[in-house]
Amino acid sequence: MKKRIAIFASGSGSNAQKIMELFKHSPEVEIALVLTNNPDAYVLQRADNFEIPSHIFDRKEFYQTDSIIDLLKNLDIDLIVLAGFLWLIPQNLIAEYPGRIINIHPAILPKFGGKGMYGDHVHKAVLAAGETEGGITIHYVNENYDEGEYIYQAKYKIDKDDNLEMVKFKGQQLEHQHYPRIVESILKKIKK
């Protein structure tokens, strides 16, 4: 019986693609659904390229109904992976999937986390603070932005000449290298 993943993303979905690539031919793992709050998100095209079904939802459906939970339960989802998903996860979803929702953040938490700290906002803050290292944090999701228990952190060096694009590139390299691997290791611990 395959373990099943649902990926939530709001934008391009490059991390989602790396996870799709890893499990494309897996006999043990299936990406069952990609969900987004953004009808223009490029992640929808990526999902389509891998023939993975997708679901677009709005704020009302996400926060005021149980329809997303019902959808995930009907698909027998084992793990929820956030890959550039920008909304706070509602309490009812966290309660339904305790310890089975993970996220990746483009900084070494607890620094540069919290509401509004995503994507370029994080990288700009890291540069503005004069940091000599950047990094990524993969963590479990709780009811607050970026406060769940850490699973894995990795760092890269920021050179004094690095601009926003370089910092972003270095961070994304680490994300693509580690996130699929960590997703796979967590799935191995989940009992079907």
67 in a labelled binding site: no
The type of residue at 136 is I
Residues 101/68, Cβ–Cβ less than 8 Å: no
For residue 192, what pLDDT is reported?
Answer: 77
Q: At what angle do helices 164-189 and 14-23 cross, to 10 degrees?
A: 40
What the chain holds in terms of domains, given with CATH numbers, is: 3-189 (3.40.50.170)
How many angstroms separate the most distant Cα atoms in the chain? Answer: 51
* Active-site residue identified among 105, 123, 139, 178: 105
For residue 138, what pLDDT is reported?
Answer: 98
15 in a labelled binding site: yes
13 in a labelled binding site: yes
Distance CA 116, CA 112 (A): 10
What tokens appear for 48 in the block? 């389509």
Taking only the tens of pLDDT, the chain with its 192 residues reads 899 999 999 999 999 999 999 999 999 999 999 999 999 999 999 999 999 999 999 999 999 999 999 999 999 999 999 999 999 999 999 999 999 999 999 999 999 999 999 999 999 999 999 999 999 999 999 999 999 999 999 999 999 999 999 999 999 999 999 999 999 999 999 987
In DSSP terms, 157 is beta-bridged to 133
74 in a labelled binding site: no
Helix or strand (DSSP H, E) at 19: helix 14-23
Told to judge if 121 belongs to the known catalytic residues of this protein, a careful annotator would answer: no
